């Protein structure tokens, strides 16, 4: 048996170099979404005339607001190692209930003759009820997954179906519009009439604040770090005394909350809500799922960021928008999103496969393995 | 300290499992600042004893004293708070998270509502310093980029954070190189100086002599003796571990073996097994022995096509084969009975029939249709040969006893009619009766001309069945012992520990 220590130094150097390469690639992969965004913006600016105009950018970013909000909760759930497929239905719950409850309480408070006070009061109550509804349905999802130990796919598909029925019953299949235009004028009005800054409205600022709040909660607090541990290795988290079940339940509550909030803001910005939003065109669930994965959240949990999910939403919207600018249709949009998602998922699977091949490798034998490789190649 | 001379005392501790008394009234004590080695063969009760100490069982009997004070260790949390720190063989790591987060999970320092990143970094570095890694590892690195050796040290640092009085290490060196082992020993000596009592479980004799102060040997769940390491040598320790055994199985008659059927040359899977060469004859049982992590299972997996073969030749029945896949090797006539029947071997929720025929689905098919009826004679044949009980192929496999499950697994691979059968721990976790029957079956099959490669850590089994024993160490085949030169468990165990001069042939 050859003594492995002879060429130890040389081989360790080589291994180190390889590690450095891996490190750089790893960092790049972690931040891949920013690279994607830059590439997409450059390509689209060249290929699609008028892409960079304020009149194009502003609506594009506004379309991203809803999926960004939904993506927050969706990413939380996925970091915990689960899926929430009910977010599409949660959006409709938020949208329809905020409209419906506003009308109900606006009427109770006396309607138009009662003046602005009735409008404000009714909106506040409607917002609270709609948010509570989303959080409540999220809580049920969470309890069934964490306490009932049912797979999150089954739980949330069940919730999706149930809530679809619920919103049709609630709205009787109709579009609901609010009986006051006061809020829509405030929430969608650009704060500054300056090109490129017209994007900043009450709605976009609320979205950004919520996004920042949940990013800080995730990255900067021990609660968020604990969630990462739970998603990464439940056994290790349990041994460290982290309350796993409660954390998982919270992720679903957050998902219900942010999806409902997305629906609420979307509906108030249009002053109308439909019970079948997302059933035509690009499904918000698909868009959010793709963004979360492309944004770098690991499908098995334990790693991810809501800001990166948001950037991924904008990237995909930029692709859609640019393709329209190039004169291509809806079919191509869906195709492009599918190809992008497919490549990223394939890449992730490839990395996992590569890791699994090296599992159980004896580090002590690596220097010799390197020598043998050389010899065998020659 | 000072109140008691012993950091840990165990008095007549026992633990009963269904069917066996895994630990039988074991008493031993560990002094503060002492490295106390715990030795014994597989199944001697070391791991169970240590699990009792770690609080894994609520139903042990006997008394445990820490620092002279009786304690109850009924769950891991109690054990931890009484000052027992365990470094497990299998580490629980969150690979996606950083070193520091893994070390302080559940106990992350905060400033106001936010994580105090600076304090976390400082604590992590201080903790890494205990295992001399503070200059080598950035605490922000993700665990997946950390080598196994360093992960093990990090795990140890994590345990040391709780300032344990007793530190238990279970086979800590099985994946380490010799330089890394030396580093680990330096750290152990350091911890020792701080008065921590260390319980060190290992099979590796040279290590025990290097690091331990005293050694306690267990056999069949009972304590044999505790000695000062100065008073014993390799031979006495091995004798204590093996003892005088009543052979539960002796292979009768001379085993005649025929021509070469399998020839392996320089078989290599980089980083797992290197340059493996050997020959196997018709009707021969070749035992392959090696300590934990020596590459035994990896060799079996390579030969059967389950793992990649990077280099080398495999010649079966004068036909050179490029190993590509498991199904190809099955077709050629090499079958591999895997080590873990529950996760790799059997689909426990299927019937015995479906399990046994699962290896020959394509052979029982015509066009696209699976014709299980054609398998009936094969089933009957296997049931008779192996006397699987109960005699009903439709029963769900999970309802069988461990021994009968193992027989079903054996039947599954025998139904492929292999020329070479690789058996990886064929009798792990089966009762004595079933073990004997499996042994008899293996011998009978060999007499009928089947060639067997037996990978086993059960020394009596290996010695009783094998015509030859080849020894693996650190991914290499280092030599072989021939039956005509006489081999016994002592010799085999010494050989596996790398002691020269006992081999018939040294490679």
From A356, which residue of chain B is nearest by alpha-carbon distance? B307
> For residue B448, what pLDDT is reported?
87
CATH number at B168 reads 3.40.50.300
ipTM over 0.85: no
pLDDT tens, N- to C-terminus, chain B (507 residues): 445 789 999 999 998 876 667 888 999 899 999 999 998 876 678 888 888 998 888 889 999 999 989 998 888 778 888 889 888 766 678 888 889 988 888 778 888 888 888 999 999 999 998 888 888 888 888 887 787 778 888 888 888 888 899 999 988 876 676 677 888 899 899 899 989 999 998 877 888 899 999 999 988 888 999 999 999 888 888 888 877 654 455 565 555 667 899 999 999 999 899 999 999 999 999 999 887 778 889 999 999 999 989 999 999 999 999 999 999 999 999 999 988 888 888 998 899 999 999 999 888 888 888 888 888 999 999 998 888 878 888 988 888 877 788 889 999 999 999 999 999 988 876 766 677 888 888 998 898 889 999 998 888 888 889 999 999 988 899 988 888 877 888 888 888 877 777 777 777
Who among B106, B147, B270 is closest to A363 (CB)? Answer: B147
Look at phi and psi of residue B22 and say left if phi exceeds 0, alpha if psi is from -120 to 50, else beta. alpha
Is there a domain that residue A87 lies in? yes
Q: Is B255 in the same domain as B301? A: yes
Q: Domain range holding B395?
A: 346-417
Count of domains for chain A: 1
Pair (B202, B273) in one structural domain: no
Instruction: Please indicate, yes or no, if residue A82 is contained in any of the structural domains.
Output: yes
Residues B148 and B187 in one domain: yes
CB A106 within 8 A of CB A89: no
Q: Of B242, B266, B285, which residue sits at a domain end?
A: B242
pLDDT at residue B237, rounded to an integer: 85
DSSP B66: E
Closest approach of chain A CAs to the CA of B105, in angstroms? 6
Q: Which of B447, B427, B424, B432 is nearest to B285 (CA)?
A: B447
B175 assigned to some structural domain: yes
Query: Hey, how many other C-beta atoms are within 10 angstroms of the C-beta on B492?
Result: 23
Task: Please give the radius of gyration of chain A, using alpha carbons only, rounded to the nearest integer.
Answer: 24
The residue of chain B with its CA nearest to that of A238 is B106
Q: CB contact, 8 Å: B97 with chain A?
A: yes
Residue A144 lies in a domain: yes
Q: Is residue A39 part of a domain?
A: no
A83 inside domain: yes
For chain A, give the secondary structure using H, E and C: CCCCCCCHHHHHHHHHHHHHHHHHHHHHHHCHHHHHHHHHHHHHHHHCCCCCCHHHHHHHHHHHHHHHHHHHHHHHHHHCCCCCCCHHHHHHHHHHHHHHHHHHHHHHCCCHHHCHHHHHHHHHHHHHHHHHHHHHHHHHHHHHHHCCCCCHHHHHHHHHHHHHHHHHHHHCCCCEECCCCHHHHHHCCCCCCCCCCCCCCHHHHHHHHHHHHHHHHHHHCHHHHHHHHHHHCHHHHHHCCCCHHHHHHHHHHHHHHHHHHHHHHHHHHHCEECCCCCCCCCCHHHHHHHHHHHCCCCCCCCCCCHHHHHHHHHHHHHHHHHHHHCCCCHHHHHHHHHHHHHHHHHHHHHHHHHHHHCCCCCHHHHHHHHHHHHHHHC
Q: Are residues B378 and B427 in the same domain?
A: no
> Is the pTM higher than 0.80?
no
| Domain end among B190, B209, B242 | B242
Q: Would A369 be classed as within a structural domain?
A: no
Burial group, residue A50, by CB count within 10 angstroms (0-12, 13-18, 19+) = exposed
Q: What are phi and psi of B316, to 5 degrees?
A: -115, 120
Look at residue B197 in the predicted model and tell me its pLDDT. Answer: 94
- Per the CB < 8 Å rule, is A233 touching B478? no
CB contact under 8 Å between B94 and A303, yes or no, is no
Residues of chain A in Cβ contact (below 8 Å) with chain B = 1, 4-5, 8, 19, 22-23, 26, 216, 220-222, 225-226, 228-229, 231-233, 235-237, 239-242, 298, 302-303, 355, 357-358, 360-366, 368-369, 372-373, 376
Low-confidence ranges of chain A (pLDDT < 50): 1-6
B375 touches chain A (CB under 8 A): no
Does residue A301 belong to any structural domain of this protein? no
Contacts 24+ apart (CB under 8 A), A197-202: A198/A54, A198/A58, A199/A57, A199/A58, A199/A61, A199/A62, A201/A62
For tokens 């100490």, what's the residue?
B53
Task: Give residue A76's domain range.
Answer: 61-279
Q: Quick one: B353 and B464 in the same domain?
A: no
CA distance B217 to B240: 7
SS (H, E, C) B284-351: CEEEEECCCCCCHHHHHHHHCCCCCCCEEEEEECCEEECCCCHHHHHHHCEEEECCCHHHHHCCCCCE
The structure tokens listed for B114 are 């936010």
User: Is A221 within 8 Å of B114 when comparing Cβ atoms?
Assistant: yes
B92 touches chain A (CB under 8 A): yes
> Is B101's CB within 8 Å of A357's CB?
no
Do B403 and B459 lie in a common domain?
A: no
B441 domain-assigned: no
pLDDT at A329: 82
Angular region, B367: left φ>0, alpha ψ -120 to 50, beta rest = left
The reply to whether B338 falls in a domain is no
Question: Which of B242, B277, B292 corresponds to the end of one domain?
Answer: B242
Torsional sign, CA B138, B141, B147, B151: positive
Give the pLDDT of residue A280: 65
**Residue B21 forms part of a structural domain:** yes
Structural domain count of chain B = 3
Residue A307 forms part of a structural domain: no
The closest alpha carbon to B249, from B12, B443, B60, B50, belongs to: B443
Asked if residue B259 and residue B120 are part of one domain, the reply reads no
Please state, in angstroms and rounded to a whole number, the distance separating the CA atoms of residues B476 and B474.
Answer: 6
């Amino acid at each position: 048996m050859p003594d492995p220590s002879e060429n130890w130094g040389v081989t360790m150097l080589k291994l180190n170099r390889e590690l450095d390469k891996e490190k750089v690639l790893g960092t790049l992969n972690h931040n891949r979404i920013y690279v994607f965004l830059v590439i997409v913006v450059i390509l689209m600016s060249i290929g699609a005339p008028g892409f960079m105009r304020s009149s194009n950018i502003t609506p594009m970013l506004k379309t991203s607001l809803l999926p960004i909000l939904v993506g927050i909760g969706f990413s939380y759930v996925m970091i915990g190692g689960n899926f929430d497929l009910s977010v599409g239905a949660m959006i409709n719950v938020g949208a329809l209930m905020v409209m419906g409850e506003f009308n109900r309480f606006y009427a109770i408070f006396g309607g138009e003759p009662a003046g602005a006070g009735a409008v404000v009061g009714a909106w506040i109550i409607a917002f609270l009820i709609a948010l509570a509804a989303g959080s409540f349905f999220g809580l049920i999802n969470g309890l069934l997954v964490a306490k009932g130990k049912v797979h999150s796919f089954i739980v949330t598909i069940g919730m999706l179906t149930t809530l679809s029925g619920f919103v049709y019953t609630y709205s009787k299949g109709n579009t609901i519009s609010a009986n006051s235009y006061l809020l829509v004028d405030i929430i969608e009005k650009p704060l500054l009439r300056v090109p490129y800054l017209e994007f900043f409205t009450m709605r976009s600022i609320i979205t950004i604040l919520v996004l920042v709040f949940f990013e800080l909660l995730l990255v900067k607090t021990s609660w968020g770090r604990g969630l990462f541990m739970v998603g990464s290795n439940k056994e290790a988290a349990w041994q460290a005394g982290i309350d796993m079940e409660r954390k998982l339940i919270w992720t679903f509550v957050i998902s219900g909350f942010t999806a409902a909030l997305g629906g609420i803001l979307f509906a108030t910005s249009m002053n109308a809500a439909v019970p079948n939003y997302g059933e035509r065109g690009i499904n918000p669930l698909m868009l959010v799922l793709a963004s979360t994965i492309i944004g770098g959240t690991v499908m098995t949990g334990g790693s991810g960021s809501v800001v990166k999910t948001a950037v991924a939403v904008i990237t995909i919207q930029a692709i859609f928008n640019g393709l329209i600018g190039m004169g291509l249709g809806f079919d191509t949009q869906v195709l492009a999103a599918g190809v992008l998602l497919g490549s990223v998922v394939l890449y992730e699977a490839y990395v996992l496969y590569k890791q699994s091949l090296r599992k159980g490798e004896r580090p002590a034998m690596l220097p010799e393995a390197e020598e043998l490789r050389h010899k065998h190649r020659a | 300290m000072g109140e008691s001379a012993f950091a840990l005392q165990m008095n007549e501790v026992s633990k009963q499992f269904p069917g066996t008394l895994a630990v039988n009234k074991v008493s031993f004590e560990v002094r503060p600042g002492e490295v106390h080695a715990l030795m014994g063969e597989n199944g001697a009760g070391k791991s169970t004893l240590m699990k009792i100490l770690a609080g894994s069982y609520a139903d042990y009997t006997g008394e445990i004293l820490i620092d002279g004070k009786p304690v109850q260790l009924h769950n891991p949390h109690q054990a931890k708070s009484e000052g027992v720190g365990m470094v497990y063989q299998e580490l629980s790591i969150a690979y996606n998270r950083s070193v520091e987060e893994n070390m302080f999970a559940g106990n992350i320092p905060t400033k106001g509502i936010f994580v105090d990143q600076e304090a976390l970094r400082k604590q992590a570095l201080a903790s890494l310093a205990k295992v001399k890694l503070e200059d080598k590892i950035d605490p922000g690195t993700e665990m997946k980029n950390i080598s196994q050796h360093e992960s093990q040290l990090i795990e140890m640092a994590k345990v040391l954070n709780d300032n344990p009085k007793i530190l238990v290490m279970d086979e800590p060196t099985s994946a380490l190189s010799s330089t890394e082992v030396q580093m680990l020993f330096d750290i152990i000596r350091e911890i020792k100086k701080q008065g921590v009592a260390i319980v060190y479980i290992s099979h590796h004799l040279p290590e025990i002599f290097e690091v331990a102060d005293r050694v306690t040997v267990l056999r069949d769940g009972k304590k044999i003796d505790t000695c000062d390491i100065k008073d014993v040598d390799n031979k006495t320790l091995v004798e204590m571990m093996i003892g005088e055994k009543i052979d539960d199985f002796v292979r009768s008659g001379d085993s005649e073996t025929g021509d070469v059927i399998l020839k392996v040359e320089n078989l290599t899977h980089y980083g797992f097994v290197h340059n493996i060469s050997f020959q196997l004859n018709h009707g021969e049982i070749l035992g392959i022995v090696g300590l934990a992590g020596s590459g035994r299972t990896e060799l079996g997996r390579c030969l059967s096509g389950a793992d990649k073969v990077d280099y080398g030749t495999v010649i079966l029945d004068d036909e050179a084969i490029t190993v590509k896949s498991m199904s190809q090797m099955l077709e050629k006539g090499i079958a591999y009975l895997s080590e873990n029947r529950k996760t790799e071997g059997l689909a426990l929720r299927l019937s015995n029939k479906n399990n046994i025929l699962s290896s020959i689905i394509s052979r029982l098919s015509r066009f696209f249709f699976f014709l299980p009826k054609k398998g009936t004679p094969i089933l009957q044949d296997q049931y008779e040969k192996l006397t699987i009980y109960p005699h009903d192929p439709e029963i769900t496999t999970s309802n069988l006893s461990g021994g009968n499950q193992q027989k079903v697994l054996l039947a599954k691979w025998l139904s492929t009619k292999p020329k070479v059968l690789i058996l990886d721990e064929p009798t792990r976790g089966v009762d004595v009766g079933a073990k004997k029957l499996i042994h008899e079956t293996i011998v009978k099959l060999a007499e009928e001309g089947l060639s067997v490669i037996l990978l086993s850590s059960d020394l009596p089994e290996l010695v009783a069945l094998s015509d030859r024993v080849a020894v693996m160490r650190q991914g290499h085949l280092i030599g072989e012992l021939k039956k005509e030169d006489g081999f016994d468990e002592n010799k085999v165990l010494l050989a596996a520990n790398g002691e020269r001069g006992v081999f018939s042939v040294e490679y």
